[in-house]
Amino acid sequence: MREKIVIGNWKMNTSISEAKQLVEELNKANKNNTKTAVLVPSLYINALQNLANKSIHIGAQNVSSFEKGAFTGEISAAMLNSMQVEYVAIGHSERRTIFNETDNIISEKIKISLENNLKPILCCGEALEVRKAGDFLDFVGKQIDFVLEKITANDMKNIIIAYEPIWAIGTGETASAAQAQEVHIYIRNIVKKHFGNEIADKTTILYGGSVKPSNAAELFAEQDIDGALVGGASLNAQSFIDIINANNG
């Protein structure tokens, strides 16, 4: 009913030759044509698009909140659209914490991405202190509310949400399937509150944070986990393929 997808986030990794090799291995392995995407360093987008088969979408990890002009070093939503990029990650915890991106900036990025026909992957998730204090549902809910109250139901159809608890990113410590499911259903209910049942049921909600071949199937078995946003394990073709296949089973 709703689209299932596994998305790799390469972050600031790979040389161009490593990147090409990874895509070539994914091409060979992805025999059942399961839809997947990899968010690659922007510099490599064009070269990798020319290599990837049609089931592997080459996406971006970031986009400017500004339209165009004197913003040295930035890449605009219009530029990504002109390169036929479909997916862009917005609000990743590394952007929020290391690059000081606020909910306001994230909301601007979502808006300009939608205006330029991109599909934003809106990331949310709490830090360990918030989890320990027991406030995580409220915390994540506010991150999502902030964006959703500024968009339309039609916009929502083009957004993927990714729940990535910060304490599980790159730490080897995954949220249990039950912990992830608890937040996913909470997020789906927020979508429902804003846009109703039908759109909430169709919204793809991904889990991210130390997803590996060994824990993927258990996570994907949950009702409201529609795929994964994979960091470290997406840098190895075989482990990424194993995760993609687990989402199919």
Kindly indicate which of the ranges 98-106, 112-120, 189-197, 203-211 contains the residues binding ligand 13P, using the contact rule CB under 6 A.
Answer: 203-211
Q: Is 204 in the site for ligand 13P (CB under 6 A)?
A: no
Q: Does residue 155 belong to the site contacting ligand 13P (CB under 6 A)?
A: no
Count residues contacting ligand 13P (CB under 6 A)? 14
Residue 111 beta carbon to ligand 13P: minimum distance, rounded to whole angstroms: 22
Rounded Cα gap, residues 164 and 181, in angstroms:
12
User: Does the protein bind ligand 13P through residue 209 (CB under 6 A)?
Assistant: yes
230 binds ligand 13P (CB under 6 A): yes
Tell me which of 94, 101, 126, 164 is the catalytic residue. Answer: 164
Of 72-111, binders to ligand 13P (CB under 6 A) are: 92
CA gap 19, 12 in Å, rounded: 11
> Alpha-carbon distance 92 to 171, whole Å?
16
Residue 164 annotated in active site: yes
Tell whether residue 232 is a contact of ligand 13P (CB under 6 A): yes
Q: Is the Cβ of residue 141 or residue 209 nearer to ligand 13P in the bound state?
A: 209
Our CA angle for 184, 98, 113, nearest 5°, is 60
User: Shortest approach of ligand 13P to residue 208 CB, angstroms?
Assistant: 4
Least separation in angstroms between CB 67 and ligand 13P: 26
Nearest distance, CB of residue 228 and ligand 13P, angstroms: 8
d(CA 186, CA 158): 20
77 with 112: CB under 8 angstroms?
A: yes
Q: Are strands 205-208 and 36-40 parallel, antiparallel or unpaired?
A: unpaired
Which residues, 6 or more positions from 45, have their beta carbon under 8 angstroms from its beta carbon?
58, 60, 80, 83, 85
Three-state DSSP class for 109?
Answer: helix
184 a catalytic residue: no
Q: How far is CA 4 from CA 16, 58, 135, 217, 227, in A?
A: 29, 17, 29, 13, 6
Closest by CA position to 57, among listed 106, 132, 5, 131 = 5
Nearest CB to ligand 13P, comparing residues 159 and 200: 159
Alpha-carbon dihedral sign for residues 225, 226, 230, 234: positive
Tell me the per-residue interface mask from 5 to 44 with ligand 13P, x by CB under 6 A, - otherwise: ----x-----------------------------------
Single residue of 110, 112, 169, 200 touching ligand 13P by CB under 6 A: 169
- Is 176 a binding residue for ligand 13P by CB under 6 A? The answer is no
Active site amino acids = 92, 164
Binding site for ligand 13P (CB under 6 A): 9, 92, 164, 169-170, 208-211, 229-233
